[in-house]
A and B are shown apart, each in its own frame.
Chain A
Amino acid sequence: MTRKRIAALVGNPNAGKSALFNALTGARQKIANYPGVTVERKAGRLTLPSGEPLELIDLPGSYSFDAASPDEEVTRKVVHGEFEGEATPEVIVLVVDAANLEQHLVFAQEVLELGRPTVVALNMIDLAERDGLTLDPAALSAALGVPVIPTVAVRGKGLQELTAAIAEAETHAAEDAQWRGHVTMPERRLVAKHMARGATLSASARHTIENGIDRVLLNPWVGPVILFGLLFVIFQAVFAWATPFADALDGAVGAISGWVSGIMPEGFIRDFITEGVLAGVGSVVVFLPQIVILFFFILLMEASGYMARAAFLMDRLMAGVGLSGKSFIPLLSSFACAIPGIMAARSIPDPKDRLTTILVAPLMTCSARLPVYAVIIAAVIPETSVGPGIGLQGLVLFALYLAGIVGALVVALVLRNTLAKGAASGFIMEMPRYQLPRIKDLAIGLWQRAYVFLRRAGTIIFMVTIALWLLLSFPKAEPGESQLDASVAGMVADGLHPVLEPIGFNREMSLALIPAMAAREVAVSALATTYAVDAEDEDLAAEGVTDRIAALWSLPTALAFLAWFVFAPQCISTIAVARRETNGWKWPTFMVVYLFVLAYVFAGLTFWIATALGL
């Protein structure tokens, strides 16, 4: 029985460790073009040429073992064998950016001083060539005293050579080389400079591409306009591009429902399928095209290197509320989902800055709100155009996203002056080079997001909807009585309704909010199931949830419901991850309470103002 061998990927942020990890192990860790994408350790299996397995560990990027932020702390602990439940890695795979050797070789010296068997992956050698650099891996290998393998992780180049080098590495430790003993930072920097120069055969003009693009994208006046224009286009596209696909899906769900009604005898099972499964879960699944479009843009921004530029442009605004551009990336990730957003906050060094970011992350409009917003907007906002290429529905959606952003900024400002008071934190961030996103990576990213969305629909949303359907269906109504009135769920809703009635919520909405604590999309499936069960005849039952809302809800009520979902923390997983990331219940409890209070107040204000305006 041989013990399991472990190798760890170590290096500066954005050197391509996760891309290498994916290429070597076949894993699909998130990769993107900005520093700080990976915030925790991930293990995978690499098969060595001998057929022997090796555990490969992907680690957050680090500038030094003198950790400044929680994610760097993970790297330090794993490498030093202090990470709980994990043996010290025997082999270190040091990943350096070939185009930025002078910088990456500084931390590299710190890693090599550990004296562990080490292999260097000279990664992104293709981008170095694009930048006009010709490198000499053999010279670098001689200077460092360890094997150096040129790689292009995202294109799978140099993987075999690297795997072979890892297999051999365990047999010999890093040889004593000239860099030893240079312990101060300036000394290390000088050594790095000499080594980088020695390994560079020729270097031509630097940074030409970055300079040209940044001249426009980071222009003090044009840059912000492009950023907001881009965000605006994204939300327009979510509606405009998705419509044909969403309609097709909607039609398919309707057709299946009709087909089931046709071939199955009337009764419990048929109702279960049409009212519970198809009306409920189907109403959420039809939003798949919108989700895919939203993620397409997010992935594009992440992969190209634009995300870090957006952080640069937003820093001034973030500084105004006591945060920094560093918080911008976690907050932007929260547009997809607050859970990775809250975890991404680990790359923020300042604890109070980080706490504030975690507490406001749920205010960013996550993709789970999209079905809720989309169904209500489609029901009550007319599909008119308010200008060339600007639809009113897309505009309302954009306004809801803005409301979330403004809410987050205001709450951050308040928190930074009260509970999370402290010196204003700074913004120091490496700007990555631009990269052309690869279609394959985009496709994999989109597939993963679509899969997660459908899996949620098939598991959590399915189960909650079924439970709700059962509660709605029993006990059976007497003739002449409404099924909703008679059911257990109806009685529960009657209990909650008085609290929500002042802010304009009807009983079905009150009912939908309870299962929607599990996940926001459930609000849509819950409404769909409620209306399907409560429908008096077949024709009504066949109508989609959008038509029923259009027929039954007043505009102020619908707007109040939208306002509620801008704030309400209706997501168990977010609360759970906030507990984990803040090590206790204190802050998640605070988060849930303040968000519900805001939801109630703003839904109420929306309802009262809209009613007073006679909408």
Chain B
Amino acid sequence: MTLDGFENGRTARIVAVDWASLDESEGKRLKALGIDEGVEVAVTRRGVFGTRDPLAVRVGRMTIALRRSHALAIEVEPV
């Protein structure tokens, strides 16, 4: 299951990230913000109207915004 399809508000553990599908600098930025294998995250909000894009994701004590295209590359499992 990817982060994109994961239920809002529930904690997920990242099991794999398809770094190859992401732009190199964006991958770097995601890692710098703490998105990486083994990290626990939770989707807190999804964007405007029916598009569900972008996503607000909680990592530790911080909330970051990212796009569905990124969330689709992030494989998660429920904790």
- A residues near B, CB below 8 A? 63-64, 66, 68-69, 99-100, 102-103, 106-107, 131, 185-186, 189, 206-207, 210-211, 214-215, 218, 220-221, 223-224, 308, 311-313, 315-317, 319, 324-325, 349-350, 423, 425-431
Contact = CB atoms under 8 A, between A and B. Distances in A.
Nearest to B64: A430
25 contacts: A63-B32, A64-B32, A68-B28, A102-B34, A103-B61, A131-B61, A186-B37, A215-B45, A220-B52, A224-B48, A311-B65, A312-B65, A313-B48, A315-B53, A315-B65, A316-B51, A316-B53, A427-B54, A427-B67, A428-B26, A428-B33, A428-B65, A429-B64, A429-B65, A430-B65
B59 interface: yes
A426 B47 contact: no
A481 B66 CA distance: 67
B28 A64 contact: yes
Interface residues of B, number: 39
B70 to A, nearest CB: 6
Contacts of A223: 48
Most buried by A among B22, B60, B63: B63
A63 B67 contact: no
Contacts of B51: 316
Given A207-B61, A349-B25, 11 more contacts: A100-B62, A131-B61, A214-B63, A215-B45, A220-B46, A220-B47, A220-B52, A221-B49, A350-B25, A428-B26, A428-B64
Nearest to B54: A315
Interface in B17-47: 22-23, 25-26, 28-34, 36-39, 44-47
A203 to B, nearest CB: 9
B60 A100 contact: yes
Given A103-B59, A218-B56, A427 B65 contact: yes
B29 to A, nearest CB: 5
Contact of A63 (B33, B38, B54): B33
B13 interface: no
Contacts of A316: 47-49, 51, 53-54
A192 B11 CA distance: 21
A189 B63 contact: no
Given A100-B62, A312-B65, A350-B25, A430 B44 contact: no
A185 B54 contact: no
A236 B24 CA distance: 44
Contacts of B49: 220-221, 224, 316
Nearest to B38: A186
A431 B56 contact: yes
B65 A210 contact: no
Contacts of A69: 25
A515 B70 CA distance: 49
Interface of B: 22-23, 25-26, 28-34, 36-39, 44-54, 56, 58-67, 69-70
A112 to B, nearest CB: 17
Nearest to B35: A428
A311 B64 CA distance: 12
A264 B69 CA distance: 72
B54 A66 contact: no
Contacts of A99: 61
B63 A102 contact: no
Contacts of B32: 63-64, 68, 106-107
A431 B45 CA distance: 12
B34 to A, nearest CB: 6
B36 A189 contact: yes
Given A312-B65, A423-B23, A428 B31 contact: no
A516 B57 CA distance: 47
A132 to B, nearest CB: 10
A218 B45 CA distance: 7
Contacts of B23: 350, 423, 425-426
Contacts of A308: 65
A100 B53 contact: no
B45 A214 contact: yes
